[in-house]
Amino acid sequence: CTTHSAIKIRSLLNVTAYAFTCRFLEGSVKHLVYNCSKIRGDSAVQLSILTSELKKFNNPSFELIRNLYSSHLHYDINQGRILNKYSETDITFLNQIVINRHKNVHASEQCGEWFNSNRKDITDLLKELVGLCNILEFLDSIYWDSQLQLFKP
């Protein structure tokens, strides 16, 4: 259906679904990094600095998430791929959610132009969401080994 109103409804659904999903990912990653830092025993000053830095963490592509974990937790999340907890396809799907959110939020106000440049819909999001969840599930499984003083999968 490509009527003006159908395109407007589809665009609103797409913008909302992809934006909420991307914000869910962003919030989840921030929450996990902050809580891992707290469990590790970071000081109040360190946690305050981390909170300020996390406010700048937006549009969480896999690379940005990997860099965040590496810089703040000294942990390489690629271990999850090596351990088959998630796949390259999952990474691609996560990145597609972030890209599509950006594409939707910054799209043209002309609905016909938007429609012609963005053919994704809720079916695509549901497929991509599986990859995002696989990665988040791995990130949520990481724990602090107080004996070795490092994070483990």
Nearest to 36 by CA among 74, 85, 86, 82: 74
Largest CA distance in the chain: 63
CA–CA distance, 152 with 146 (Å, rounded to integer): 10
CA–CA distance, 106 with 88 (Å, rounded to integer): 27
pTM of the shown model: 0.86
CA–CA distance, 72 with 118 (Å, rounded to integer): 36
Could you read off the pLDDT of 55-70 as tens digits, one per residue? Answer: 999 999 999 999 999 9
Whether the predicted pLDDT of 111 surpasses 60: no
